[in-house]
Amino acid sequence: EDQVTQSPEALRLQEGESSSLNCSYTVSGLRGLFWYRQDPGKGPEFLFTLYSAGEEKEKERLKATLTKKESFLHITAPKPEDSATYLCAVGRDNFNKFYFGSGTKLNVKP
């Protein structure tokens, strides 16, 4: 069964305290893994796409990595404005199918 699991469900960090979010997947025919940020009451905002194991992408304090079974979103020296829910999604079948994880709610305290 195709599944995307994110952990932890919630994460509280102090400002400047680096950490990682995990997204593990069991999806056949993976075409790409996506990370999104979602603020309360808003639609997801695109962050990264990763296509193959070993690939890494960075944007400001965020770095996403991909293996054959999971992806990590590393947050370096987070700031309060990084507080949001981070969603990962896996695309298959020519990207006509997207499977979303349940998200990690990140809270960064000043």
Partner 1 sequence: GAVVSQHPSRVICKSGTSVKIECRSLDFQATTMFWYRQFPKQSLMLMATSNEGSKATYEQGVEKDKFLINHASLTLSTLTVTSAHPEDSSFYICSAIVGTSSDTQYFGPGTRLTVL
- Please give the residue ranges that form the binding site for partner 1 (CB under 8 A): 31-32, 34, 36, 41-46, 49, 87, 89, 91, 95-98, 100-103
- Neighbouring residues of 57: CB distance < 8 A, sequence distance ≥ 6: 48, 49, 50, 63, 64
Nearer to partner 1, 14 or 28 (CB): 28
CB of 77 to partner 1, least distance (A): 27
Structure token pair of residue 8: 């932890």
Distance in Å, CB of 21 to partner 1, minimum: 14
And the tokens for 72? 């990590």
